[in-house]
Structure 1
Amino acid sequence: MTSEAPAGPLCTRDSVVADLRASGVRAGRTLLVHASLSSLGWVAGGAVAVVEALLEVLGPDGTLVVPTMTGENSDPAHWSAPPVPRDWWAPIREAMPAYDPRVTPSRFMGAIAETVRTWPGTLRSAHPQTSFAALGPRAAEITDGHAIDSRLGERSPLARLEAVGAEVLLLGAPFANCSCFHLAEYRVPGPSEEVSFAAETEAGRQWITLRETRIDSDDFDALGTDFEREHPELVRQGTVGASRTRLFPLAAAVSYAEGWLRRHRTA
Protein backbone atom coordinates (compact mmCIF):
# COMPACT_ATOMS: atom_id res chain seq x y z
CA MET A 1 0.00 0.00 0.00
CA THR A 2 1.25 3.47 -0.88
CA SER A 3 0.08 6.83 0.29
CA GLU A 4 0.41 10.15 -1.47
CA ALA A 5 2.23 13.03 0.14
CA PRO A 6 -0.04 15.91 1.15
CA ALA A 7 -0.38 18.74 -1.32
CA GLY A 8 1.72 21.73 -0.36
CA PRO A 9 2.96 24.19 0.33
CA LEU A 10 3.31 23.78 4.07
CA CYS A 11 1.73 26.75 5.83
CA THR A 12 2.17 27.69 9.47
CA ARG A 13 0.63 30.41 11.58
CA ASP A 14 3.79 32.50 11.13
CA SER A 15 3.90 32.02 7.35
CA VAL A 16 0.22 32.96 7.05
CA VAL A 17 0.86 36.10 9.14
CA ALA A 18 3.71 37.09 6.83
CA ASP A 19 1.69 36.37 3.69
CA LEU A 20 -1.35 38.31 4.94
CA ARG A 21 0.80 41.36 5.66
CA ALA A 22 2.47 41.09 2.26
CA SER A 23 -1.00 40.90 0.71
CA GLY A 24 -1.98 44.22 2.26
CA VAL A 25 -3.90 43.29 5.41
CA ARG A 26 -3.17 45.88 8.09
CA ALA A 27 -3.66 46.26 11.82
CA GLY A 28 -6.73 48.08 13.07
CA ARG A 29 -8.87 47.40 10.00
CA THR A 30 -12.35 45.91 9.89
CA LEU A 31 -12.09 42.94 7.54
CA LEU A 32 -14.84 40.83 5.96
CA VAL A 33 -13.23 37.52 5.02
CA HIS A 34 -14.45 34.92 2.56
CA ALA A 35 -11.98 32.04 2.75
CA SER A 36 -11.21 28.55 1.51
CA LEU A 37 -8.93 26.65 3.88
CA SER A 38 -8.09 23.95 1.33
CA SER A 39 -6.81 26.53 -1.16
CA LEU A 40 -3.88 27.48 1.09
CA GLY A 41 -2.09 24.15 0.93
CA TRP A 42 -1.28 22.04 4.01
CA VAL A 43 -1.84 24.19 7.09
CA ALA A 44 -0.28 23.13 10.37
CA GLY A 45 -3.10 23.72 12.82
CA GLY A 46 -5.77 24.02 10.15
CA ALA A 47 -8.47 26.66 10.47
CA VAL A 48 -7.44 27.57 14.02
CA ALA A 49 -3.97 28.58 12.82
CA VAL A 50 -5.45 30.73 10.05
CA VAL A 51 -7.84 32.50 12.42
CA GLU A 52 -5.01 33.10 14.88
CA ALA A 53 -2.98 34.59 12.03
CA LEU A 54 -5.82 36.88 10.95
CA LEU A 55 -6.31 38.09 14.51
CA GLU A 56 -2.58 38.69 14.96
CA VAL A 57 -2.36 40.78 11.80
CA LEU A 58 -5.50 42.80 12.60
CA GLY A 59 -4.32 43.35 16.16
CA PRO A 60 -6.41 44.37 19.17
CA ASP A 61 -7.98 47.33 17.35
CA GLY A 62 -9.05 45.31 14.29
CA THR A 63 -12.29 43.43 13.78
CA LEU A 64 -12.64 40.14 11.92
CA VAL A 65 -15.99 39.42 10.24
CA VAL A 66 -17.16 36.27 8.43
CA PRO A 67 -20.44 35.07 6.91
CA THR A 68 -22.11 32.36 9.01
CA MET A 69 -25.18 31.73 6.90
CA THR A 70 -27.73 28.99 7.46
CA GLY A 71 -29.47 28.38 4.16
CA GLU A 72 -30.88 25.05 5.28
CA ASN A 73 -33.29 27.00 7.52
CA SER A 74 -35.61 27.59 4.59
CA ASP A 75 -38.68 26.23 2.85
CA PRO A 76 -37.95 22.63 1.78
CA ALA A 77 -40.20 23.17 -1.23
CA HIS A 78 -37.31 25.13 -2.76
CA TRP A 79 -34.50 22.71 -1.93
CA SER A 80 -32.62 21.29 -4.90
CA ALA A 81 -29.25 20.09 -3.58
CA PRO A 82 -30.71 17.63 -2.88
CA PRO A 83 -34.51 17.94 -3.05
CA VAL A 84 -36.73 16.14 -0.56
CA PRO A 85 -40.08 14.41 -1.20
CA ARG A 86 -43.16 16.64 -1.19
CA ASP A 87 -44.72 14.70 1.69
CA TRP A 88 -41.73 15.72 3.84
CA TRP A 89 -42.26 19.46 3.37
CA ALA A 90 -44.85 20.05 6.07
CA PRO A 91 -43.09 17.91 8.73
CA ILE A 92 -39.79 19.71 8.02
CA ARG A 93 -41.46 23.10 8.41
CA GLU A 94 -42.91 21.92 11.73
CA ALA A 95 -39.68 20.41 13.03
CA MET A 96 -36.96 22.80 11.81
CA PRO A 97 -35.28 24.23 14.93
CA ALA A 98 -35.47 27.98 15.31
CA TYR A 99 -32.24 29.80 14.54
CA ASP A 100 -30.12 30.32 17.64
CA PRO A 101 -27.05 32.53 17.09
CA ARG A 102 -25.26 30.74 19.93
CA VAL A 103 -25.47 27.20 18.58
CA THR A 104 -26.85 27.00 15.02
CA PRO A 105 -23.92 25.97 12.81
CA SER A 106 -23.18 27.72 9.55
CA ARG A 107 -23.35 25.69 6.38
CA PHE A 108 -21.20 25.82 3.24
CA MET A 109 -19.27 28.80 4.64
CA GLY A 110 -16.05 26.86 5.17
CA ALA A 111 -13.94 25.77 8.12
CA ILE A 112 -12.44 29.21 8.73
CA ALA A 113 -15.82 30.93 9.06
CA GLU A 114 -17.12 28.17 11.30
CA THR A 115 -14.03 28.45 13.49
CA VAL A 116 -14.60 32.19 13.90
CA ARG A 117 -18.25 31.51 14.77
CA THR A 118 -17.24 29.36 17.73
CA TRP A 119 -14.29 31.52 18.83
CA PRO A 120 -14.49 32.91 22.40
CA GLY A 121 -15.90 36.42 22.36
CA THR A 122 -17.45 36.23 18.91
CA LEU A 123 -20.80 37.98 18.37
CA ARG A 124 -23.27 36.87 15.71
CA SER A 125 -26.12 38.68 14.04
CA ALA A 126 -29.73 37.61 14.46
CA HIS A 127 -31.00 36.81 10.98
CA PRO A 128 -32.17 33.17 10.72
CA GLN A 129 -30.65 32.70 7.23
CA THR A 130 -27.94 35.28 6.56
CA SER A 131 -26.04 35.92 9.78
CA PHE A 132 -22.51 37.27 10.12
CA ALA A 133 -20.10 36.69 13.01
CA ALA A 134 -17.63 39.31 14.21
CA LEU A 135 -14.71 39.33 16.61
CA GLY A 136 -13.10 42.53 17.80
CA PRO A 137 -13.95 45.98 19.16
CA ARG A 138 -16.51 46.73 16.43
CA ALA A 139 -18.27 43.36 16.65
CA ALA A 140 -21.43 44.64 18.37
CA GLU A 141 -21.67 47.67 16.09
CA ILE A 142 -21.62 45.39 13.06
CA THR A 143 -23.84 42.54 14.23
CA ASP A 144 -26.55 44.34 16.26
CA GLY A 145 -29.92 45.11 14.71
CA HIS A 146 -29.89 42.63 11.83
CA ALA A 147 -33.54 42.93 10.77
CA ILE A 148 -35.55 39.84 9.98
CA ASP A 149 -36.77 41.43 6.72
CA SER A 150 -33.33 42.58 5.55
CA ARG A 151 -31.23 39.54 4.80
CA LEU A 152 -28.37 41.42 3.14
CA GLY A 153 -29.75 44.93 2.87
CA GLU A 154 -29.69 48.28 4.64
CA ARG A 155 -30.41 46.80 8.08
CA SER A 156 -27.84 44.04 7.83
CA PRO A 157 -24.16 43.82 8.84
CA LEU A 158 -23.19 44.57 5.24
CA ALA A 159 -24.49 48.13 5.51
CA ARG A 160 -22.72 48.50 8.87
CA LEU A 161 -19.49 47.28 7.29
CA GLU A 162 -19.87 49.80 4.51
CA ALA A 163 -20.42 52.59 7.03
CA VAL A 164 -17.25 51.82 9.01
CA GLY A 165 -15.00 51.59 5.95
CA ALA A 166 -14.43 47.85 6.02
CA GLU A 167 -12.32 45.94 3.55
CA VAL A 168 -13.06 42.60 1.89
CA LEU A 169 -10.50 39.82 1.76
CA LEU A 170 -11.14 37.00 -0.69
CA LEU A 171 -8.75 34.34 0.61
CA GLY A 172 -8.78 31.62 -2.01
CA ALA A 173 -12.45 32.41 -2.61
CA PRO A 174 -13.93 33.63 -5.92
CA PHE A 175 -15.94 36.78 -6.55
CA ALA A 176 -18.99 34.49 -6.68
CA ASN A 177 -18.73 34.29 -2.88
CA CYS A 178 -18.44 38.05 -2.38
CA SER A 179 -21.45 38.75 -0.18
CA CYS A 180 -21.15 42.56 -0.25
CA PHE A 181 -22.41 42.59 -3.86
CA HIS A 182 -25.80 41.57 -2.44
CA LEU A 183 -26.07 44.95 -0.72
CA ALA A 184 -26.09 46.52 -4.18
CA GLU A 185 -29.02 44.29 -5.15
CA TYR A 186 -31.12 46.00 -2.49
CA ARG A 187 -30.39 49.39 -4.07
CA VAL A 188 -31.21 48.46 -7.66
CA PRO A 189 -34.87 47.92 -8.62
CA GLY A 190 -35.48 44.25 -9.15
CA PRO A 191 -37.77 41.33 -8.36
CA SER A 192 -38.70 40.04 -4.93
CA GLU A 193 -38.98 36.48 -3.68
CA GLU A 194 -40.71 34.59 -0.90
CA VAL A 195 -38.46 33.75 2.05
CA SER A 196 -39.33 31.33 4.87
CA PHE A 197 -37.50 30.16 7.98
CA ALA A 198 -37.92 29.04 11.58
CA ALA A 199 -37.28 31.86 14.04
CA GLU A 200 -37.55 32.47 17.76
CA THR A 201 -40.05 35.26 18.47
CA GLU A 202 -41.66 36.74 21.56
CA ALA A 203 -44.45 34.23 21.01
CA GLY A 204 -41.99 31.35 20.77
CA ARG A 205 -40.74 29.37 17.81
CA GLN A 206 -42.57 30.29 14.60
CA TRP A 207 -42.34 29.49 10.90
CA ILE A 208 -42.16 32.89 9.22
CA THR A 209 -42.78 33.71 5.56
CA LEU A 210 -42.24 37.14 4.04
CA ARG A 211 -41.28 38.80 0.75
CA GLU A 212 -37.75 40.05 0.31
CA THR A 213 -35.48 41.46 -2.35
CA ARG A 214 -34.37 38.61 -4.54
CA ILE A 215 -30.68 37.74 -4.13
CA ASP A 216 -28.72 35.98 -6.86
CA SER A 217 -24.96 35.49 -7.08
CA ASP A 218 -24.89 33.67 -10.43
CA ASP A 219 -23.29 36.63 -12.20
CA PHE A 220 -21.03 37.81 -9.38
CA ASP A 221 -17.92 36.29 -10.97
CA ALA A 222 -18.51 38.42 -14.06
CA LEU A 223 -19.28 41.45 -11.89
CA GLY A 224 -16.09 41.01 -9.86
CA THR A 225 -13.96 40.41 -12.95
CA ASP A 226 -15.18 43.69 -14.45
CA PHE A 227 -14.62 45.53 -11.16
CA GLU A 228 -11.05 44.26 -10.98
CA ARG A 229 -10.33 45.05 -14.64
CA GLU A 230 -11.80 48.56 -14.53
CA HIS A 231 -10.38 49.47 -11.11
CA PRO A 232 -7.06 47.63 -10.67
CA GLU A 233 -5.96 50.35 -8.27
CA LEU A 234 -8.67 49.24 -5.82
CA VAL A 235 -8.07 45.48 -5.90
CA ARG A 236 -4.80 44.41 -4.35
CA GLN A 237 -3.78 40.90 -5.33
CA GLY A 238 -1.52 38.65 -3.30
CA THR A 239 -0.96 35.10 -2.15
CA VAL A 240 -1.29 33.28 1.14
CA GLY A 241 0.29 29.87 0.82
CA ALA A 242 -1.00 28.55 -2.48
CA SER A 243 -4.16 30.67 -2.46
CA ARG A 244 -4.74 33.81 -4.45
CA THR A 245 -5.99 36.77 -2.46
CA ARG A 246 -7.89 39.91 -3.37
CA LEU A 247 -8.21 42.81 -0.94
CA PHE A 248 -10.45 45.80 -1.68
CA PRO A 249 -12.66 48.43 -0.03
CA LEU A 250 -16.17 47.14 0.55
CA ALA A 251 -17.86 50.50 -0.14
CA ALA A 252 -16.14 50.86 -3.50
CA ALA A 253 -17.15 47.33 -4.51
CA VAL A 254 -20.78 47.96 -3.56
CA SER A 255 -20.85 51.26 -5.43
CA TYR A 256 -19.44 49.64 -8.56
CA ALA A 257 -21.88 46.74 -8.25
CA GLU A 258 -24.86 49.12 -8.18
CA GLY A 259 -23.93 50.54 -11.58
CA TRP A 260 -23.00 47.15 -12.98
CA LEU A 261 -26.29 45.56 -11.96
CA ARG A 262 -28.28 48.42 -13.51
CA ARG A 263 -26.44 47.86 -16.79
CA HIS A 264 -26.47 44.07 -16.89
CA ARG A 265 -29.72 42.95 -15.25
CA THR A 266 -33.32 43.52 -16.22
CA ALA A 267 -36.37 43.11 -14.02
Structure 2
Amino acid sequence: MAKLTTDLDKLGVRAGETLLVQASLRAVGPVVDGVHGVVRALRGALGADGTLVVYTATPENSRTSSSYRAATAGMTPAQLRRHHARMPAWDRAQTPASPTMGRLSEEVRLLPGALRSGHPQTSFTAIGPRAGQLTEGHLWSSHLGEESPARRLYDSGARCLMIGVPVWCCTPLHLLEYWQPDRQEQRYRCVVRAPDGRRQWRSFTGTRLQDGHFPAMGDALLAGPPDLLESGPVGDAHCYLMPIREAVDLADKWFRSTKD
Protein backbone atom coordinates (compact mmCIF):
# COMPACT_ATOMS: atom_id res chain seq x y z
CA MET A 1 0.00 0.00 0.00
CA ALA A 2 2.93 2.34 0.67
CA LYS A 3 3.90 2.21 -3.00
CA LEU A 4 0.36 3.10 -4.07
CA THR A 5 0.35 6.04 -1.67
CA THR A 6 3.66 7.23 -3.11
CA ASP A 7 2.36 6.82 -6.67
CA LEU A 8 -0.79 8.82 -5.86
CA ASP A 9 1.31 11.57 -4.31
CA LYS A 10 3.62 11.74 -7.35
CA LEU A 11 0.64 11.85 -9.68
CA GLY A 12 -0.68 14.87 -7.82
CA VAL A 13 -3.59 13.65 -5.68
CA ARG A 14 -4.05 16.28 -2.97
CA ALA A 15 -5.18 15.93 0.62
CA GLY A 16 -8.58 17.55 1.16
CA GLU A 17 -9.77 17.45 -2.45
CA THR A 18 -12.86 15.81 -3.93
CA LEU A 19 -11.82 12.97 -6.22
CA LEU A 20 -13.94 10.82 -8.52
CA VAL A 21 -12.11 7.54 -9.13
CA GLN A 22 -12.88 5.19 -12.02
CA ALA A 23 -10.63 2.19 -12.09
CA SER A 24 -9.58 -1.15 -13.50
CA LEU A 25 -8.04 -2.92 -10.54
CA ARG A 26 -6.72 -5.65 -12.81
CA ALA A 27 -4.48 -3.01 -14.41
CA VAL A 28 -3.06 -2.03 -11.00
CA GLY A 29 -1.60 -5.48 -10.48
CA PRO A 30 -1.08 -7.32 -7.18
CA VAL A 31 -1.77 -5.22 -4.09
CA VAL A 32 -1.58 -6.31 -0.44
CA ASP A 33 -5.20 -6.78 0.69
CA GLY A 34 -6.41 -6.30 -2.89
CA VAL A 35 -9.23 -3.81 -3.36
CA HIS A 36 -9.22 -3.00 0.38
CA GLY A 37 -5.61 -1.89 0.08
CA VAL A 38 -6.40 0.33 -2.92
CA VAL A 39 -9.27 2.01 -1.06
CA ARG A 40 -7.07 2.60 1.99
CA ALA A 41 -4.37 4.14 -0.21
CA LEU A 42 -6.88 6.48 -1.86
CA ARG A 43 -8.43 7.55 1.43
CA GLY A 44 -4.98 8.00 2.94
CA ALA A 45 -3.93 10.24 0.06
CA LEU A 46 -7.11 12.33 0.40
CA GLY A 47 -6.91 12.59 4.17
CA ALA A 48 -9.73 13.24 6.62
CA ASP A 49 -10.84 16.38 4.77
CA GLY A 50 -10.97 14.72 1.33
CA THR A 51 -13.99 13.12 -0.32
CA LEU A 52 -13.75 9.94 -2.39
CA VAL A 53 -16.43 9.46 -5.06
CA VAL A 54 -17.21 6.44 -7.25
CA TYR A 55 -19.82 5.63 -9.88
CA THR A 56 -22.16 2.89 -8.61
CA ALA A 57 -24.50 2.71 -11.60
CA THR A 58 -26.86 -0.17 -12.37
CA PRO A 59 -27.42 0.03 -16.15
CA GLU A 60 -28.99 -3.43 -16.21
CA ASN A 61 -32.02 -1.89 -14.50
CA SER A 62 -33.27 -0.28 -17.69
CA ARG A 63 -35.24 -1.36 -20.73
CA THR A 64 -33.18 0.86 -23.02
CA SER A 65 -29.55 0.32 -21.95
CA SER A 66 -27.02 -1.62 -23.99
CA SER A 67 -26.68 -4.02 -21.01
CA TYR A 68 -30.39 -4.79 -21.11
CA ARG A 69 -30.44 -5.16 -24.90
CA ALA A 70 -27.50 -7.57 -24.81
CA ALA A 71 -29.15 -9.64 -22.07
CA THR A 72 -32.49 -9.89 -23.86
CA ALA A 73 -31.39 -10.21 -27.48
CA GLY A 74 -33.33 -12.93 -29.27
CA MET A 75 -35.76 -13.62 -26.43
CA THR A 76 -39.32 -14.64 -27.19
CA PRO A 77 -42.15 -12.60 -25.58
CA ALA A 78 -42.55 -15.32 -22.92
CA GLN A 79 -38.84 -15.34 -22.15
CA LEU A 80 -38.85 -11.56 -21.95
CA ARG A 81 -41.68 -11.60 -19.42
CA ARG A 82 -39.76 -14.09 -17.28
CA HIS A 83 -36.64 -11.95 -17.55
CA HIS A 84 -38.54 -8.87 -16.37
CA ALA A 85 -40.01 -10.81 -13.45
CA ARG A 86 -36.50 -11.85 -12.35
CA MET A 87 -34.89 -8.41 -12.65
CA PRO A 88 -33.80 -7.35 -9.14
CA ALA A 89 -35.69 -4.35 -7.77
CA TRP A 90 -33.27 -1.49 -7.10
CA ASP A 91 -32.76 -0.59 -3.46
CA ARG A 92 -30.55 2.37 -2.63
CA ALA A 93 -29.05 0.72 0.43
CA GLN A 94 -28.82 -2.89 -0.75
CA THR A 95 -28.40 -3.12 -4.53
CA PRO A 96 -24.77 -3.66 -5.53
CA ALA A 97 -23.12 -1.54 -8.17
CA SER A 98 -23.10 -3.24 -11.54
CA PRO A 99 -20.09 -5.53 -12.03
CA THR A 100 -19.27 -3.39 -15.07
CA MET A 101 -18.45 -0.52 -12.67
CA GLY A 102 -15.54 -2.48 -11.20
CA ARG A 103 -14.77 -3.83 -7.75
CA LEU A 104 -13.57 -0.49 -6.40
CA SER A 105 -17.02 1.07 -6.77
CA GLU A 106 -18.71 -1.68 -4.80
CA GLU A 107 -16.04 -1.63 -2.11
CA VAL A 108 -16.55 2.11 -1.53
CA ARG A 109 -20.34 1.68 -1.55
CA LEU A 110 -20.04 -0.78 1.34
CA LEU A 111 -17.88 1.48 3.53
CA PRO A 112 -19.51 2.59 6.81
CA GLY A 113 -20.63 6.19 6.36
CA ALA A 114 -20.69 6.13 2.55
CA LEU A 115 -23.68 7.89 0.96
CA ARG A 116 -25.28 6.89 -2.34
CA SER A 117 -27.38 9.08 -4.61
CA GLY A 118 -30.95 7.97 -5.24
CA HIS A 119 -30.95 7.19 -8.95
CA PRO A 120 -31.90 3.59 -9.87
CA GLN A 121 -29.70 3.62 -12.97
CA THR A 122 -26.85 6.16 -12.58
CA SER A 123 -26.07 6.48 -8.87
CA PHE A 124 -22.82 7.80 -7.39
CA THR A 125 -21.45 6.96 -3.95
CA ALA A 126 -19.23 9.25 -1.87
CA ILE A 127 -17.49 9.15 1.49
CA GLY A 128 -16.03 12.18 3.20
CA PRO A 129 -17.11 15.67 4.30
CA ARG A 130 -18.76 16.57 0.97
CA ALA A 131 -20.58 13.27 0.46
CA GLY A 132 -24.02 14.56 1.41
CA GLN A 133 -23.77 17.66 -0.77
CA LEU A 134 -22.67 15.60 -3.77
CA THR A 135 -25.24 12.80 -3.54
CA GLU A 136 -28.47 14.48 -2.38
CA GLY A 137 -31.29 15.43 -4.75
CA HIS A 138 -30.36 13.22 -7.71
CA LEU A 139 -33.41 13.60 -9.95
CA TRP A 140 -34.38 10.59 -12.02
CA SER A 141 -34.90 12.79 -15.09
CA SER A 142 -31.31 13.99 -14.72
CA HIS A 143 -29.21 10.83 -14.98
CA LEU A 144 -25.90 12.67 -15.46
CA GLY A 145 -27.20 16.19 -15.90
CA GLU A 146 -27.85 19.40 -14.04
CA GLU A 147 -29.52 17.80 -10.99
CA SER A 148 -27.02 14.99 -10.50
CA PRO A 149 -23.70 14.37 -8.76
CA ALA A 150 -22.01 14.85 -12.14
CA ARG A 151 -22.96 18.54 -12.09
CA ARG A 152 -22.01 18.92 -8.42
CA LEU A 153 -18.59 17.44 -9.13
CA TYR A 154 -18.24 19.96 -11.97
CA ASP A 155 -19.30 22.89 -9.77
CA SER A 156 -17.17 21.89 -6.78
CA GLY A 157 -13.85 21.84 -8.62
CA ALA A 158 -13.47 18.09 -8.23
CA ARG A 159 -11.01 16.07 -10.23
CA CYS A 160 -11.27 12.63 -11.83
CA LEU A 161 -8.64 9.93 -11.43
CA MET A 162 -8.79 7.25 -14.10
CA ILE A 163 -6.77 4.22 -13.03
CA GLY A 164 -5.95 1.92 -15.93
CA VAL A 165 -8.89 3.17 -18.03
CA PRO A 166 -9.03 5.62 -20.97
CA VAL A 167 -9.45 9.32 -20.28
CA TRP A 168 -12.86 9.32 -21.97
CA CYS A 169 -14.21 7.03 -19.23
CA CYS A 170 -14.73 10.08 -16.99
CA THR A 171 -18.51 9.83 -16.47
CA PRO A 172 -19.22 13.57 -15.89
CA LEU A 173 -18.25 14.18 -19.52
CA HIS A 174 -21.88 13.21 -20.23
CA LEU A 175 -22.82 16.65 -18.87
CA LEU A 176 -22.14 18.20 -22.24
CA GLU A 177 -25.01 16.23 -23.77
CA TYR A 178 -27.44 18.15 -21.56
CA TRP A 179 -26.11 21.45 -22.91
CA GLN A 180 -26.86 20.75 -26.57
CA PRO A 181 -29.88 22.53 -28.08
CA ASP A 182 -30.75 19.48 -30.19
CA ARG A 183 -30.57 16.89 -27.41
CA GLN A 184 -33.11 14.11 -27.61
CA GLU A 185 -35.42 12.90 -24.85
CA GLN A 186 -36.50 9.31 -24.31
CA ARG A 187 -38.65 7.25 -21.98
CA TYR A 188 -36.81 5.19 -19.35
CA ARG A 189 -38.20 2.29 -17.34
CA CYS A 190 -36.82 0.54 -14.26
CA VAL A 191 -37.87 -1.65 -11.36
CA VAL A 192 -37.43 -0.42 -7.78
CA ARG A 193 -38.15 -1.61 -4.27
CA ALA A 194 -41.06 0.35 -2.80
CA PRO A 195 -40.99 1.38 0.90
CA ASP A 196 -43.35 -1.49 1.73
CA GLY A 197 -40.99 -3.98 0.08
CA ARG A 198 -42.99 -4.56 -3.11
CA ARG A 199 -41.43 -4.55 -6.58
CA GLN A 200 -42.59 -1.56 -8.56
CA TRP A 201 -42.01 -0.69 -12.21
CA ARG A 202 -41.48 3.04 -12.78
CA SER A 203 -41.19 5.12 -15.96
CA PHE A 204 -39.74 8.59 -16.44
CA THR A 205 -38.40 10.83 -19.22
CA GLY A 206 -34.81 11.98 -19.50
CA THR A 207 -32.13 13.00 -21.96
CA ARG A 208 -31.03 10.21 -24.28
CA LEU A 209 -27.42 9.43 -23.34
CA GLN A 210 -24.98 8.33 -26.01
CA ASP A 211 -21.31 7.41 -25.87
CA GLY A 212 -20.37 6.71 -29.47
CA HIS A 213 -18.43 9.98 -29.61
CA PHE A 214 -16.47 9.36 -26.41
CA PRO A 215 -13.29 7.72 -27.80
CA ALA A 216 -12.76 10.58 -30.28
CA MET A 217 -13.55 13.05 -27.51
CA GLY A 218 -10.86 11.37 -25.42
CA ASP A 219 -8.35 12.01 -28.20
CA ALA A 220 -9.31 15.69 -28.08
CA LEU A 221 -8.69 15.77 -24.34
CA LEU A 222 -5.30 14.11 -24.75
CA ALA A 223 -4.42 16.74 -27.36
CA GLY A 224 -5.67 19.58 -25.16
CA PRO A 225 -3.68 22.11 -23.11
CA PRO A 226 -0.56 20.58 -21.57
CA ASP A 227 -1.73 21.44 -18.05
CA LEU A 228 -5.10 19.68 -18.42
CA LEU A 229 -3.90 16.16 -17.68
CA GLU A 230 -1.45 14.67 -15.26
CA SER A 231 -0.41 11.13 -16.09
CA GLY A 232 1.66 8.44 -14.48
CA PRO A 233 1.56 5.03 -12.83
CA VAL A 234 -0.41 3.79 -9.87
CA GLY A 235 0.92 0.31 -9.28
CA ASP A 236 1.17 -1.20 -12.75
CA ALA A 237 -1.67 0.92 -14.16
CA HIS A 238 -1.23 3.94 -16.39
CA CYS A 239 -3.41 6.71 -14.96
CA TYR A 240 -4.80 10.13 -15.79
CA LEU A 241 -5.76 12.86 -13.35
CA MET A 242 -7.77 15.81 -14.65
CA PRO A 243 -10.03 18.61 -13.41
CA ILE A 244 -13.64 17.80 -14.27
CA ARG A 245 -14.80 21.34 -15.03
CA GLU A 246 -11.98 22.09 -17.48
CA ALA A 247 -12.31 18.68 -19.14
CA VAL A 248 -16.08 18.98 -19.63
CA ASP A 249 -15.75 22.53 -20.98
CA LEU A 250 -13.10 21.46 -23.48
CA ALA A 251 -15.12 18.39 -24.49
CA ASP A 252 -18.22 20.53 -24.97
CA LYS A 253 -16.30 22.92 -27.24
CA TRP A 254 -14.96 19.96 -29.23
CA PHE A 255 -18.38 18.34 -29.50
CA ARG A 256 -20.00 21.52 -30.85
CA SER A 257 -17.21 21.93 -33.38
CA THR A 258 -17.89 18.47 -34.80
CA LYS A 259 -21.47 19.51 -35.61
CA ASP A 260 -20.59 22.81 -37.34
Q: TM-score normalised to the size of structure 1?
A: 0.89
1:80 and 2:69 matched: yes
Partner in structure 1 of residue 247 of structure 2: 253
Given residue 72 of structure 1, which amino acid in structure 2 is its aligned partner?
E
Count of residue pairs brought into register by the alignment: 254
Question: Of the candidates 229, 254, 258, which is equivalent to residue 223 of structure 2?
Answer: 229
Shift of 1:73: 0.8
SS at match of 1:98: coil
Given residue 106 of structure 2, which amino acid in structure 1 is its aligned partner?
E
Partner in structure 1 of residue 152 of structure 2: 160
SS at match of 1:80: helix
Q: What stretches of structure 1 of length at least 5 have no aligned partner? A: 1-12
Q: TM-score normalised to the size of structure 2?
A: 0.91
| Partner Cα distance (1:77, 1:263) in 2 | 27
Shift of 1:201: 5.2
SS at match of 1:194: strand
Given residue 218 of structure 1, which amino acid in structure 2 is its aligned partner?
G
1:46 and 2:40 matched: no
1:27 and 2:19 matched: no
**Range with bigger deviation, 178-187 or 127-136:** 178-187
1:142 and 2:134 matched: yes
Shift of 1:173: 1.1
Deviations 1:30-53 (A, max 9, x none): 001111101011112111100000
SS at match of 2:223: helix
**Range with bigger deviation, 225-234 or 20-29:** 225-234
Equivalent pair of 2:163/2:238 in contact (CA under 8 Å):
yes
Deviations 1:187-240 (A, max 9, x none): 113222331111345786421223321112222121122122122211111111
SS at match of 1:106: coil
**Range with bigger deviation, 204-213 or 98-107:** 204-213
Shift of 1:158: 0.6
Residues 77 and 26 of structure 1, relative CA distance in 2, 3 Å threshold: closer
How many percent of aligned residue pairs carry the same amino acid?
Answer: 41
SS at match of 1:218: coil
**Greater helix share, structure number:** 2
SS at match of 2:249: helix
Q: CA RMSD in A?
A: 1.9
Deviations 1:116-142 (A, max 9, x none): 111111100000000000010000000
Given residue 98 of structure 1, which amino acid in structure 2 is its aligned partner?
A
Question: Of the candidates 169, 179, 183, which is equivalent to residue 187 of structure 1?
Answer: 179
